[in-house]
Chains A and B, each alone.
Chain A
Amino acid sequence: MAFTFAAFCYMLSLVLCAALIFFAIWHIIAFDELRTDFKSPIDQCNPVHALVLPEYSIHSLFCIMFLCAQEWLTLGLNVPLLFYHFWRYFHCPADSSELAYDPPVVMNADTLSYCQKEAWCKLAFYLLSFFYYLYWLRFRLGTRPVSSLHPSAQPGVW
């Protein structure tokens, strides 16, 4: 098969997924720093806020692309997280969405451990989906995935 839109979607999502993995790791580090007192929640939450919106929008972009590409299975796998993001976004305290992580509250052990778990789960999800996208990318790109991707590969091997 050729380089279809679906393949493009997977390729793009592969790249962006790497970014999401980075975000997730960053979150984990940030919360860990909070837990170990390295930073004040106010200092820490601001950069975290800055990453929340990009993360949500990137993920929504995936979903839209897979919807357009009619990759239903992939879409189905992503929809739960999408809804979770929507819920998170609209369930923020008071009126400002940027306070997804509320500095005064985030230090509550419950909240903090919740945030950490959330970050770990997301990391796992993004990692898995990274390989999932990789697999589907190869799959969408056709039957000769490896050799086409790697011209140097010996045809004789196949």
Chain B
Amino acid sequence: MSAPAGSPHPAASARIPPKLGGAAASGAAAPAGPGPGPHQQNGPAQNQMQVPSGYGLYPQNYVAPSGHYSQGPGKMTSLPLDSQSGDYYPGLYTVPTQNVVTPNTASQQPGAQQMYGRVPPAPHVVGSALGSFQGAMSSASHLQTSASQPYSSFVNHYNSPAMYSVNSSVASQGLPSTCGHYALSAVSNASYPGVPYPSLPAGDPYRQQMLTSQSALTVRPIRESSLSGQNTAVSHPSPLPPPPSQQYQQQQSLSGYSTFSWSAPGLPSTQDNLIRNHTSQVAANNNPTNTVADSLSRSVMQNVQPPKSSPVVSTVLSGASSTRPPPAAPRPAEPAASVAQPPELSQQKGMQYGEYVNNQASSAPTPLSSTSDDEEEEEEDEEAGVDSSSTTSSASPMPNSYDALEGGSYPDMLSSSASSPAPEPAPEPDPAPAPAPAVPQPSKLAKPFGYGYPALQPGYQNATTPLNSGVPPSSPGYSGFQQYAQQYPGMNQLSSSLGGLSLQSSSQPESLRPVNLTQERNILPMTPVWAPVPNLNSDLRKLNCSPDSFRCTLTNIPQTQALLNKAKLPLGLLLHPFRDLTQLPVITSNTIVRCRSCRTYINPFVSFIDQRRWKCNLCYRINDVPEEFMYNPITRSYGEPHKRPEVQNSTVEFIASSDYMLRPPQPAVYLFVLDVSHNAVEAGYLTVLCQSLLENLDKLPGDSRTRIGFMTFDSTIHFYNLQEGLSQPQMLIVSDIDDVFLPTPDSLLVNLHESKELIKDLLNALPNMFTNTRETHSALGPALQAAFKLMSPTGGRVSVFQTQLPSLGAGLLQSREDPNQRSSTKVVQHLGPATDFYKKLALDCSGQQTAVDLFLLSSQYSDLASLACISRYSAGCIYYYPSFHYMHNPSQAEKLQKDLKRYLTRKIGFEAVMRIRCTKGLSMHTFHGNFFVRSTDLLSLANINPDAGFAVQLSIEESLTDTSLVCFQTALLYTSSKGERRIRVHTLCLPVVSSLADVYAGVDVQAAICLLANMAVDRSISSSLSDARDALVNAVVDSLSAYGSTVSNLQHSALIAPSSLKLFPLYVLALLKQKAFRTGTSTRLDDRVYAMCQIKCQPLVHLMKMIHPNLYRIDRLTDEGAIHVNDRVVPQPPLQKLSAEKLTREGAFLMDCGSAFYIWIGKSCDNNFIEDVLGYPNFASIPQKMTHLPELDTLSSERARSFITWLRDNRPLSPVLHVVKDESPAKTEFFQHLIEDRTEAAFSYYEFLLHVQQQICK
């Protein structure tokens, strides 16, 4: 338990309990086990550890974990600028570091080293659970100096960065070939009959945009090309042949590519240009046709919409549909932003913009392609790296290894990291050759490198990605597109997305177009709904935070609370702060620049008053710019603080200094608490769990200090002594559950690497150890208390597996569910906890930085409402597998297995706190999610995982009349699994409006629904379910009637909604029919409570699928509009509305509910489809239970499978596939999701509209 890191932990044994008897002799399972040693109780003494992590000063006594902070002078030398200058690691996962090997570099290194006294933690590990594989891979590759595949991929990536730095002239030089492509595409568009060009009114702003876009094309293409290059890299596992030039470079110096990517710092600009050209050409070369196809296809998919929106849009659409020359489509949007600007500016903007876009686009592929996240991630990481620039001249492999480490899960990496998380070895060897891999993007714009301000340099290696955060892998393909789509109003039919842009134009914004809901039959768009783009100027817009991480329900913030009240819409934020990012600038600097009064981190939305002062955008205080900040590591120039990565990216990650620690960073500690009562053994989950753990043991995020422990319990509690040196695991039984104590506190949590063999032995033995148990009781409460005692010295993660109602000891629960009330329409009781035991324990755990994750696998009522508290307040997560049985319910078993894989290997942050700040005048008043609120704006998160989402309700306390912009900033301070303190900062900027119409124009209906759902959950627990339902209906009624009253020419007979809100009633109806809130349909209490838990803690993307599933027709999948992912063609069928009227007997339909997929097969479905896809000759022969699609070698099977795989990617919960035959009993499951239809207990969509209308008229 003694943390190597020097965690202050008091001797575990407070006293030796008088009775040893409590611990029975070792069980049968542990034959060798000598009796338990003296049992020591963990006294309260252990608890002294406390120390909630916060922002606090860490006293000097802080002991750096040996491995992590290598400060020795020797290291220094080995780590050239890198370490000192601070690492700016772009990608979460892999940081492609390039070292800039410029002649300068070598010469400068020594100097640089001298310059910097402090060596920052060399090994910055960017942790990424997901990325582990890839990260590891990539890192490995990086380590090797030889030019391997990754490098080639890098090259591609580099292109983009190069672009970034490139001047306009460069751009023009850019890639002729690519330009050619684009041009072609443009041409095709034009030729396309459907093209709306002509139709555009002369005055239409869009048209102008189009024009500009074309002019901008030259610039843009380059970006695109770079993208495509990246894409190629991604899609092709095989290494791209490095272009000759590249190789040459490499030969020159290992870091060859770095030179490439960034104009080498020292190189004259001309050289830069040349290099760029090189890269660009390379990119072009690399782009196989299919890459182009990729980009095209993507755009296509966006385009797939119905023709309704603005003409411009339609053009795009048409282009897309026509096989797609789509690239043209995105462009027009971009130019729009720059339209007003003078040509030069516009060009530059265009470039930047383009870059931005590209990045987005490039990121986009990820989601799309990611069948295996890992593989792609690697690529992406590299990409990220490209973007990022590092100031450090000498590249040290460190970054790579770092990344890999962070990825953590990779076994190899672990071993390497064992000694010290930071790959020390790497840096040392490097110094001379300046191995390219190490330095993440050496300077994008590196010029003055070295000369400029040596002193300043330490600040950064940065990978500045010009763009915002990458697209989250989680979002299915379209995420990448969001930007595009948003920019281009027409693209999505969704008016909502148009909001911001259209506002700018003089004409009435599309999002305000009144829609008569009762007349509009097909309200649901054919393509996924994007988040609206805030109505900001183009500069700010492209700097703004990705909507995947940060969304606001109103993208136009009302000026006063009165205005907000008038609009009757909820105001709040939806956060997904720890999402897996494909590219993320990581910054190491001695001083993290923050506002002196409100402690806001410097961000892209601050204003620089002059060179030396900046004005905080949240509290408006004027702060000084620290000397170090004056130096820009990217441009290697002095006096351009506004070009710093912190100011160029709204999502950045800082490596925090010891000021941000209350204690040394904790190691990763995992404890598994397993139910082994008869019920549990019967269900057989142990087999699945142990198997999964064995497979993923090496991929658990962590470093050399990682510790792991196991406990099992039935009516007694069993501990396992896994101390290194034992011949086999030793089982220690504590039967005194009233006063739980820890036998041998020191050896229960053991170092994963030192005791790996013992752990494996235990995992192999566990499933069979309890096969004959007759113990039916479950002492969950005492087991949790024991777990808390075990974890409290360090903190970490406790994973609890429970299969029944706790029946013994503290925290025992009674069955509260009355099955007869399941379908009651009146009162649903017992949604709240029955006891405070779990809540209090959770608060204690939270105080000790321990999170409890609950896996509930029960066939009967287990009172999840009470049990969930243990996770809710300790920032854990909850998994629920109703009627789990490894034999009888194989689909659940498979789901558990997949979920476990994700759960065990995903990224994790420990002892985290998240603070949310907003502009003066706004205040947060309620938080939703799993956490403990420590103060008005501070959430305490014992653990943070990439699948956690949060929601915040806001109120406007003071009028915002004196400001036109408001900003929100979340800062997540956490300890990575590599024992590094990091701060991830997201900043969102939104405009303030004073008219009600503008408020409606900016509604983000999905965010609003998710926030409402969270509020409704609170309401149903604190008040009643029917109250919550009424509140939901009232939300629709109020907002629509408020809107109606603003529209003067309203006919009272019609139900009018602004286009931005047209889906609001539909989503609310969906919510009312959701398991959490439905009445009248038989719903088990646990199912209901689980649905509520998910609403509270799922991020928006996943939650929306839960609320409103997507329905696709899959028996006629075509390649039209398909996208390419990993060399696979993924068809993109249009969305169908959720109504039985869309189901035809001749068809087969796929419903994506987030946590489950249903394939409904119509009775007269084409036999060809059944045979080709399902593998059965006809409808009658399809079995009742079918959970897999066979791998048939037919085109339609391939399409169906690739589509499903694509949908499945990047879900936190792996969806189970159910094939449902029409007329089989299982079809009710399917039909209950058809929310537009009438059911016995609920309205159809049309009836609901009438009901709403009636309420409004009342």
Interface residues of A (CB under 8 A from B): 34-35, 37, 40-42, 93-96, 99, 103-104, 107-110, 112
Contacts and interface: CB of A to CB of B under 8 A. Distances in A.
Interface stretch (B135-143, B302-310, B444-452, B933-941): B933-941
Contacts of A94: 832-836, 839
B836 A109 contact: no
B936 A93 contact: no
Contacts of B835: 94-95
A125 to B, nearest CB: 26
A107 B835 CA distance: 21
A40 B833 contact: no
Contacts of B833: 94
Contact of A108 (B926, B932, B940): B926
18 contacts: A35-B935, A37-B936, A40-B52, A40-B940, A41-B933, A41-B934, A41-B935, A93-B832, A94-B834, A94-B839, A95-B835, A99-B836, A104-B843, A104-B873, A108-B926, A108-B933, A109-B925, A110-B925
Given A37-B938, A42-B847, A94-B839, A107 B933 contact: yes
A22 to B, nearest CB: 25
Contacts of B940: 40
B1139 interface: no
B834 A95 contact: yes
Most A CB contacts (10 A, CB to CB) among B833, B839, B923, B933 go to B933
A2 to B, nearest CB: 51
B934 A40 contact: yes
Nearest to A109: B925
A91 B843 CA distance: 21
Nearest to A105: B933
B688 interface: no
Given A40-B940, A94-B834, A107-B934, 4 more contacts: A37-B935, A41-B933, A104-B839, A104-B873
Contact of A93 (B836, B923, B938): B836
Contacts of B873: 104
Contacts of A103: 843, 932
Nearest to A93: B836
Nearest to A98: B836
B955 interface: yes
Contacts of B923: 109
B934 A108 contact: no
A104 B933 contact: yes
B241 to A, nearest CB: 58
A18 to B, nearest CB: 32
B927 interface: yes
Contacts of A35: 935-936
Contacts of B694: none
9 residue pairs, one from A and one from B, having the closest CB atoms: A109-B925, A107-B933, A37-B935, A94-B836, A96-B836, A108-B926, A104-B873, A40-B934, A94-B833
A40 B835 CA distance: 23
Given A40-B52, A94-B839, A109 B935 contact: no
A99 B843 CA distance: 13
A93 B933 CA distance: 17
Contact of B925 (A34, A37, A42, A108): A108
B924 interface: yes
B205 to A, nearest CB: 42
Nearest to B846: A42
A97 B932 CA distance: 20
Contacts of A95: 834-836
Contacts of B955: 109
A93 B1018 CA distance: 13
B936 A112 contact: yes
A114 to B, nearest CB: 11
A77 B843 CA distance: 39
Contacts of B836: 93-96, 99
B932 A104 contact: yes
Nearest to A99: B836
Interface in B704-762: none
Interface in B806-844: 832-836, 839, 843
A107 B928 CA distance: 12
A42 B843 contact: yes
Contacts of A112: 936
B924 A109 contact: yes
A40 B52 CA distance: 9
A26 to B, nearest CB: 19
Given A42-B843, A42-B847, A107 B834 contact: no
Contacts of B832: 93-94
A34 B934 CA distance: 9
A42 B934 CA distance: 8
Most B CB contacts (10 A, CB to CB) among A41, A93, A104 go to A104
Contacts of A41: 932-935
Nearest to B844: A42
B926 A110 contact: yes
Nearest to B927: A108
Contacts of A99: 836
B1022 to A, nearest CB: 9
B88 to A, nearest CB: 31
Given A94-B835, A95-B834, A96-B836, A34 B935 contact: yes
A99 B932 CA distance: 15
A107 B924 CA distance: 10
A99 to B, nearest CB: 6
Nearest to B935: A37
Contacts of B935: 34-35, 37, 40-41, 107
A103 to B, nearest CB: 6
Nearest to A94: B836
Contacts of A42: 843, 847, 932
Contact of B936 (A40, A96, A104, A107): A107
Interface in B909-941: 923-927, 932-936, 938, 940
B917 to A, nearest CB: 12
Interface in B629-683: none
Contacts of A104: 839, 843, 873, 932-933
Contacts of B933: 41, 104, 107-108
Nearest to B915: A37
Contacts of A37: 934-936, 938
Interface string B837-875: 001000100010000000000000000000000000100
A109 B925 CA distance: 4
Contact of B926 (A34, A40, A93, A109): A109
A49 B861 CA distance: 33
A57 B1100 CA distance: 47
A41 B834 CA distance: 22
Interface string B927-962: 100001111101010000000000000010000000
A19 B1041 CA distance: 52
Contacts of A108: 925-927, 933
Most B CB contacts (10 A, CB to CB) among A35, A37, A107 go to A107
A37 B925 CA distance: 15
Interface string B15-26: 000000000000
Contacts of A109: 923-926, 936, 955
A66 B839 CA distance: 40
B56 to A, nearest CB: 12
A35 B925 CA distance: 12
A99 B836 CA distance: 9
Contacts of B839: 94, 104
Contacts of A107: 927, 933-936
Contacts of B934: 37, 40-41, 107
A103 B839 CA distance: 10
Contacts of B847: 40, 42
B268 to A, nearest CB: 53
Nearest to A110: B925
A35 B938 CA distance: 11
A66 B934 CA distance: 42
B375 to A, nearest CB: 41
Nearest to B932: A104
